[in-house]
Structure 1
């Protein structure tokens, strides 16, 4: 399966609750690389690259109701991977 890039804007109460750490942990368990970044408007931007099935698993987890805080909406887009990413970082 070819790698892809998932960009997911996560809306809700997702800052100051351990959301980025939780996302990083799930992504690393799935063998993905990328980042989770807080934005001033309260959203978290999750960018991950890896096999499509693993990215879809991460997306399901983001929407699954077991995240820290409270996710109200996840808006995703899919692109070819850009590469050059190692690990998964919180920003």
Structure 2
């Protein structure tokens, strides 16, 4: 998520916390609510708004990058290591 999108979403979340009616609108129709708030939703994109509760924790798994470098693959596969006295690789 880029910085601008993070700021937009931060404002939306803050508004949800302050205004329960707004939160209910966002949960019921996220695309229309975001659009009304000036947040661009690209055509063909589905938006799902969900709420964490004391009994429910929603885990969002970001989309996979299209291509990982060899270094990134090594770290993900557990191939990276670091010692305080040696350079990390």
TM over 0.5: no
Which TM-score applies when normalising by structure 1?
0.33
> Which structure features the higher share of helix residues?
2
More contact order relative to length (CA 8 Å, sep ≥ 6): 1
In our comparison, the structure showing a higher alpha carbon Rg is 2
TM-score by length of 2: 0.33
